[in-house]
Structure 1
Amino acid sequence: MGRGSRLTRLDAFTKTVEDARVRTTSGGIVTLVSLFVVFVLVVGEFREYRRIQVLPELVVDKTRGEQLPISLNITFPHIPCELLTLDVMDVSGEQQSSITHGIHLTRLTPFPESKPVSTTSLNVHEDTASHLDPAYCGKCYGAPGPEKDKGCCQTCEDVREAYASIGWAFGKGEGVEQCEREHYAERLDEMREEGCNIAGHLSVNKVIGNFHIAPGKSFSSAQMHVHDLNQYFASTKEHTFTHTIHHLSFGPDLPANVKVQRNPLDDSRQVTQERSFNFMYFIKVVSTSYLPLGTSENSYIPGAIETHQYSVTSHKRSLMGGADKEHASTIHARGGIPGVFFSYDISPMKVINREVRAKSFAGFLTGVCAVIGGTLTVAAAIDRGLYEGGMRVKKLHQG
């Protein structure tokens, strides 16, 4: 009894006897309303507990030796595909010239229609003379021939490659037996009015570098990257590097719930009326991760995305005076090369977009208790006020 009496003194929930309780209509209404409010608020707390939000986090990028994926889709309405070359260079000294692997060039009808032509074949160097002697060995006209063919230039393209290897301008292959046999000049002239779409994917070292689309065959000469611009400037058609960038990204897209700037160069267009004109885009690439709920940075589950965001500034300039149009075969760094250049730099920071629950389970329970206790307390005060107000009104009427 002694122990029980001590516990009884600690009871914070004192009871009332049934006879002392008064039930009223207003109390029933307040009870129903309070239960509805509790239900609505508890449902809201549950939804908040189930809601997933994406929190960005900035860390130092510690990855090494990765490749940087590039996806592009660019249309040049005033230059045929045969005159365009895609090259990649970086500070490590690696160069990728005349890239074709993973890149698709589509010939387009003259602007403004710019629809794909019936054939997308670009092999204007194809040797159709199947009757050639098997022992045939074509001349390279003073240039070193390919080793795979024992120094023989079998096709017009072989001669063109041999010329590029020592920095000679090639032109339209006038006087070159292989080119005349393949009707290279005639087939090239047929494309003069066409445009070109370049689309595809390439992979580069994750270091400072650039990729560019410029006219003519590219090669290195005296530690400089140059292009054979003979065909570009000799053309009767005034080619220009007006272009539309339909898409340019450095990796897959992030989910729609991640609030980031989408590829800023998508659907952008630049126009020029000059043949000797240079467009430059300076891109800052930032590594970006998307980690679904329950994923750590050092573990991988389906749904995790590794990609890159980028910001960009642009510059354009005329190269008029940088070369003699009548005699130019190449333009080097002193005057500049007409074309579209994308210079990219890699940020040392990395953005991690991590999925987390908006509220923990403990927070959910705390919220439910607060909703129930707070609602019932307010309801009790309202019911007490209604009851006492009703009693006073009744006494006034009786008095």
Structure 2
Amino acid sequence: MVLRQRKNTNIQKVVQELDAFPKVPETFVEQTTSGASISVVTFLLVTSLLWSELAYFWNPGFRFKFTPDSDFESKLTINVDMTVAMPCDMIGADILDSTNQNTFSFGRLKEEPTWFELDHLQRNHFEAIQTFNEYLREGSHSIQDVLWKSGQSTFFGEIPPRRSTPEEPHDACRVHGSLSLNKVAGNFHITAGKSVPLMGGHAHLTAFMGPQDYNFSHRIDKFSFGSPHGGVIQPLEGDEKIADKNMMNFQYFIQVIPTEVQMVSGFTYPTYQYSVKEQLRPIDHTTGSHGVSGIYFKYDVNALKVLVIQDREPLWQFLVRLCAGIGGLVATSQMVCGLIQALVRFYCCPDIPEKKQSNVSGMKTVDLIPPQERVAPGAERHHPHAVTLDQVQKLIHDQ
């Protein structure tokens, strides 16, 4: 029984020697003012780190991937709301794509007579849209994560109605609505004259119009593809062009990019983005600038699709990164505390030797050796009843 207990004690001792985290009794810990100050700073830093890491974890970001677009059967919806500075009976809006399909099968846009000049309230609203969209297009590409998370398809509502009706007759036409198109290259255009079907295509009747009747100044309130969704910047919204000549040709070259958004909740929805280049030139056959006056939106669908993935790191990875950050702060604070204490001892108290033992508890030390038995340093101390080596050798020799 004794041997078994001794064996268990030895095993326990061996296991204790493997402890990589030695414990120091509190009575041997020296507490200083500098250590307390660094502890407070470390606690504040750890709290700030914990708060920022939790905020980052609960607000996942987005990452982007490119993949071939294999969806060839779906339709492409175009949403238009624009105003042209010509009466509705003098213009026609049509689409012609690479399949030469009948344009009337795509649907028809609504034409609403109106005035091109905006009143004060409408002008302020439109200029706010212009300023905001220009700010997003040119200087704030870094806030795309905020836009995707917002979920807002537009930051402005419909243009407010006029507060007063002008006395002049309508001089403009508002063209608005949605069309369902094939996912192929096409040309959406607004030109002079109403369109009529002709030999698989269409033609615009302009026989009774003179050059003085042309004015393709226009204002674009909405122009998008697919279902609207927050985070997609529509480059043409808020665009306004004023023609300085009657015979003008406005061309917009649009690259439509299929987009699929995958949220962290598992919800997935398709939409479209687009980039655009524009060109405007006067039509003057005498100088070699040929063409037809009008507004042309020439679009093409990209073969690559963009995946917008809301990405949140796994919980275990978040915990590992959090523990590593907190551990690094605590270890660094201990190093800084030791360095400060060493510098204080070196510069402030260079002549005072470092204490090897300190009575931290504040208790009085009691000397248990009687004064008469104290021995001077370096002398040998003999017990009164001790037997010396010479006495033992003499006893053996006598026997």
Whether TM-score is above 0.5 comes out as yes
Question: Secondary structure of 1:214's partner?
Answer: strand
- After superposition, residues 5-24 of structure 1 pair within 5 angstroms as 5-24=13-32
2:174 aligned with 1:197, yes or no?
yes
Are 1:278 and 2:249 an aligned pair?
yes
Paired position in structure 1 for 2:103: 96
Task: State the 1:6 CA deviation.
Answer: 2.7
Name which of structure 1's ranges 310-319 and 83-92 shifts more when overlaid on structure 2.
310-319
Answer whether contact 2:256 2:300 (CA < 8 A) is retained.
Answer: yes
Shift of 1:253: 4.0
Among 210, 226, 250, the residue aligned to 2:187: 210
Matched residue, 1:225: 202
Is 1:85 equivalent to 2:56 in the alignment? no
Counterpart position of 2:361:
none
Number of equivalent positions: 298
1:321 Cα deviation after fit: 4.8
Q: What does 1:324-335 correspond to in 2, within 5 Å?
A: none
The match for 1:315 among 237, 261, 279 is 279
Q: CA deviation at 1:26?
A: 3.3
- Partner residue of 2:320 out of 341, 366, 369: 366
1:255 to 198, 217, 230: 230
Q: Structure 1 CA distance, aligned partners of 2:350 and 2:121?
A: 92
Gapped regions of structure 2 (runs ≥ 5): 1-7, 123-167, 355-399
The structure that is helix-richer by fraction is 2
| Preserved CA contact (<8 Å) 1:98 1:218 | no
Cα distance between partner residues in 2 of 1:30 and 1:279:
68
Offset of residue 365 of structure 1: 1.5
Give the match for residue 72 of structure 2: 64
Distance 1:203 1:305 in 2: 18
| Offset from partner CA, 1:293-338 (integer Å, 9 cap, x none) | 132xxxxx3xx4422111222334444459xxxxxxxxxxxx7543
Question: Which structure is larger by alpha-carbon Rg, 1 or 2?
Answer: 2
Q: TM-score, normalised by structure 2?
A: 0.64
347-356 or 383-392, which moves further after superposition? 383-392
CA distance in 2, matches of 1:106, 1:99: 19
Q: Is the 8 A contact 1:109 1:115 kept in 2?
A: no
8 Å CA contact retained: 1:215, 1:227: yes
Cα 1:341/1:373, change in 2 over 3 Å: closer
Cα offsets for 1:48-92 (capped at 9, x unmatched): 222311111111111121111111122112x11112222122222
Tell me, in whole angstroms, the C-alpha distance in 2 between the residues paired with 1:72 and 1:369: 53
How far apart, CA to CA, are the structure 2 residues paired with 1:61 and 1:7? 62
CA distance in 1, matches of 2:96, 2:71: 21
How far apart, CA to CA, are the structure 1 residues paired with 2:342 and 2:169?
A: 96
Quote how far apart the aligned CAs of 1:201 are.
1.6
Instruction: Quote how far apart the aligned CAs of 1:383 are.
Output: 3.3
> Alignment RMSD, CA only?
3.4
Partner of 1:343: 298
Q: Secondary structure at the match of 2:73?
A: coil
Shift of 1:19: 4.1
Q: Does 1:352 align with 2:352?
A: no
Correspondence 1:74-153 to 2 at 5 A: 74-77=82-85, 79-97=86-104, 101=108, 103-109=109-115
Residue type of the partner of 2:98? V
Give yes or no for contact 1:215–1:339 (8 Å, CA) kept in 2: yes
Note the C-alpha offset of 1:373.
2.2
Change (3 A) 1:87 1:362: same
Specify whether residues 68 and 224 from structure 1 end up closer, same or farther in structure 2 by C-alpha distance, changes over 3 A only: closer
- The residue identity in structure 2 corresponding to 1:3 is I
What corresponds to 1:265 in structure 2? 236
Distance in 2 separating the partners of 1:196 and 1:347: 32
Paired residue type of 1:263: Q
Q: Aligned-pair distance for 1:37? A: 2.4
Change (3 A) 1:27 1:336: closer
Q: Report if the CA contact (8 A) 2:214-2:247 is conserved.
A: no
Q: Structure 1's 229 and 43: CA in aligned 2 closer, same or farther, altered over 3 A?
A: same
Alpha-carbon distance in structure 2 between the residues aligned to 1:39 and 1:263:
41
**Scaled by the length of structure 1, what TM-score is found?**
0.64
Q: Is the CA contact (8 Å cut-off) linking 1:108 and 1:115 kept in structure 2? A: no
Identity %: 26
* 2:213 equivalent among 228, 238, 250: 238
State the Cα deviation string for residues 355-391 of structure 1 (Å, max 9, x = none).
112x432232222322332232223333334445555
Instruction: Tell me how far apart the structure 2 counterparts of residues 255 and 47 of structure 1 sit (CA, whole Å).
Output: 22
Q: Which moved more, 1:91-100 or 1:27-36?
A: 91-100
In 2: Cα distance, 1:204 partner to 1:382 partner: 68
1:231 aligns to what SS in structure 2? coil
Distance 2:193 2:38 in 1: 84
- Alpha-carbon distance in structure 1 between the residues aligned to 2:29 and 2:302: 73
CA–CA distance in structure 1, aligned partners of residues 201 and 300 of structure 2: 21
Residues 254 and 305, structure 1, Cα contact 8 Å, conserved in 2:
no
8 Å CA contact 1:87, 1:211 repeated in 2: yes
Q: Which residue of 2 aligns with 1:45?
A: 53
Contact 1:70 1:203 in 2 (8 A): yes
The alignment status of 1:293 with 2:258, answered yes or no, reads no
Counterpart AA for 2:214? H
Q: CA deviation at 1:115?
A: 11
Query: For each residue in 1:141-161, what CA deviation from the matched residue of structure 2 results, as whole angstroms up to 9, or x when unmatched?
Result: xxxxxxxxxxxxxxxxxxxxx
